[in-house]
Every structure is written in structure tokens, then in C-alpha cells.
Amino acid sequence: MSYTTKFRKEVMRFIDKGNSIKATAGQFSIGETTIKEWKKLRNETGSLEKRPLNRTHKKIDPEKLRAYVEENPDAYQYEIAEHFGCVQNAVFKALKKLDITRKKNDRISREGRVMSTRVHRGNRRNTCGKDTLH
């Protein structure tokens, strides 16, 4: 749960008046560790603003994956995994997150590796307990 900056300042004013961390935690119904983290944040930054999250992609950059799939529409997931230096399951999850489906069509048995790639841009709507794309 994220607390507003206004609430954080109120809690810190209560601490600054000489109240203990334990008493402050009880007064405001928050954890002692939370108060300690806020004190540390204020000492380090001079502010109680939330720190921005620095999230990075663990294995596969989504834009690079999208570009690779557009350039190599017939590549299997294991081939994509080799290209990005990860396991096939990571590719599966990244494609799913990007809402890119890779469905083999009927021509595959007759013509070899022919695949269709579809990027869904529509909304998902729940119908009868199943996700369908529209």
C-alpha cells in the first residue's frame, strides 16, 4: 500500500515532536519498519516523496522482441530464445505479455515452416468464462 506524501509528513511531524516509533506506529496504525524507512528516506533525500521505480526488463526488451518477430515471422520460440540468450519459457511469457500470438496454420504440413503472427490491439472481453479477443 502506498501512503500519500501528506500523510508521511504528518507521521514525521509526530515523530519530530519526540514521540517514539512504536507510539507513532500505534497512533497511525502503520508498521514500525515503514516509519524507519521514511526516516531513512528523509535523511537521504531531504524529502518524503516516493522514489521512482527503476524497472528494467530482465531478459528480453519488448521493443527488440517485437522487431525481431516482425523481421523473423517464421522463427520458433526456441530460436528466439537462442537469439536473446534466454529460455523458451521467457520468450513465451514475453510474447504473451505483448499480446502477440504465433499460430501455425494448415500450410505448415504441406509447405514447411509457414507461420502467421498476429499482434492483437483490441480489448479482451470475458464471455462465458473464456477470454476472447475482439
64 sits in which H/E element: helix 62-71
Residues 73 and 117 sit within 8 Å (Cβ to Cβ):
yes
Of residues 119, 105, 127, 109, the one with CA closest to residue 66: 119
| Within-domain flag for 82 | yes
Q: What is the arithmetic mean of pLDDT over 21-33?
A: 95
Higher pLDDT among residues 59 and 45, named by residue: 45
pLDDT band at 1 (very low <50, low <70, confident <90, very high): low
Domain shared by 32 and 82, yes or no: no
DSSP state, residue 92: H
> Per-residue pLDDT tens for 50-90?
887 776 667 788 899 999 999 998 899 999 999 999 999 99
> Per-residue pLDDT tens for 79-107?
999 999 999 999 999 999 888 886 655 55
Residues 133 and 96 sit within 8 Å (Cβ to Cβ):
no
Q: How many residues does the chain have?
A: 134
Boundaries of domain holding 106: 62-120
| Within-domain flag for 55 | no
How many CA atoms lie within 13 Å of 14's alpha carbon, on the beta-carbon side? 17
Of residues 120, 79, 113, 75, the one with CA closest to residue 96: 120
| Within-domain flag for 50 | no
Instruction: State the Cα angle at 54 between 51 and 56, rounded to 5°.
Output: 165
| Within-domain flag for 130 | no
Average pLDDT, the chain: 81
Domain shared by 32 and 72, yes or no: no
Q: Return the pLDDT at 105.
A: 59
Domain shared by 30 and 70, yes or no: no
Residue 116, pLDDT above cutoff 80: no
| Within-domain flag for 33 | yes
